[in-house]
């Protein structure tokens, strides 16, 4: 997809290729990669490199029940979503498979002042959610207790760092405070993964926080 200005980091792509990310972050990475030719090419390189490294490792002795234990762990973990190219509609295929359709299939829950969310996954201490921000609406100013990964799927928003539009991805951590504002003219839909609760500045969002699980 052309026009993407904010690309995913190499560290996150390598983590995805190695299967080291929580499922919530896997979903955001897969969805971004399906929109970005650049990210797709870099991911292919890391996956190929991982295969070469494995092929050059010395053989190691393993326990007799290693296969059974490995299969048990695989069966107990959410299946990773394949990275696919964009399809018609707002949501790329990795996200459509989780939602069960495009944006019109989302079961939104109101957050107040027109903003809405839909929690898609919550596992391994991390959660993935869709966030709907009406055009011109500001989200409450907040900081982070961990990592937040935000992918724009529709519209655009601005914060203290830059402007983010469809396909752009923003990384935030404990050192970042911001207040995203959806641009006028088009509602904004984002896919967000977090591994901890946000740190809201205002008292009203802090009171509502336990009800919305943000």
- The predicted-structure confidence for 41-59, as pLDDT tens digits, reads as follows 999 999 887 544 444 445 6
pTM of the model: 0.77
**Which residue segments constitute the domains of the chain, with CATH numbers given?**
10-95 (1.10.10), 97-212 (2.60.120.10)
Q: Are 200 and 112 in contact (CB under 8 A)?
A: no
From the number of C-beta atoms within 10 Å of its C-beta (0-12, 13-18, 19+), residue 58 rates as exposed
Give the residue-averaged pLDDT of 150-165: 95
Query: How confident is the model at residue 85, as a pLDDT?
Result: 52
Q: What is the pLDDT of residues 110-137, one digit of tens each?
A: 888 888 999 999 888 899 999 999 999 9
Query: How confident is the model at residue 140, as a pLDDT?
Result: 79
The token pair that represents 147 in the structure block: 């990592």
DSSP 3-state assignment of 76? coil
Please state, in angstroms and rounded to a whole number, the distance separating the CA atoms of residues 178 and 20. Answer: 28
DSSP 3-state assignment of 85? coil
Please state, in angstroms and rounded to a whole number, the distance separating the CA atoms of residues 37 and 149. Answer: 19
Give the up-direction half-sphere exposure of residue 114: CA atoms within 13 A in the CB hemisphere.
11
């Amino acid at each position: 997809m052309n026009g993407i200005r904010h690309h995913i980091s190499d560290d996150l792509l390598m983590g995805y290729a190695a299967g080291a990310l929580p499922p919530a972050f896997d979903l955001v990475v897969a969805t971004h990669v399906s929109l970005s030719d650049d990210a797709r090419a870099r991911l292919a390189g890391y996956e190929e490199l991982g295969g070469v490294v494995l092929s050059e490792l010395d053989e190691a002795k393993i326990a007799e029940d290693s296969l059974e234990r490995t299969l048990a762990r695989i069966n107990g973990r959410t299946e990773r979503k394949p990275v696919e190219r964009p399809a018609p509609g707002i949501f790329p295929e990795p996200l459509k498979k989780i939602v069960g359709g495009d944006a019109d299939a989302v079961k939104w829950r109101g957050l107040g002042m027109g903003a809405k969310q839909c929690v898609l996954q919550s596992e391994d201490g991390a959660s993935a959610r869709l966030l709907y921000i009406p055009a011109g609406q500001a989200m409450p100013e907040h900081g982070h207790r961990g990592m937040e990964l935000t992918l724009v799927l529709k519209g655009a928003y601005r914060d203290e760092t830059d402007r983010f539009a469809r396909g752009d991805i923003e990384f935030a951590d404990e050192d970042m405070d911001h207040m995203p504002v959806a641009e006028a003219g088009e509602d904004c839909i984002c896919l967000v993964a977090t591994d901890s609760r946000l740190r809201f500045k205002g008292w009203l969002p802090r009171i509502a926080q336990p009800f919305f699980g943000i």
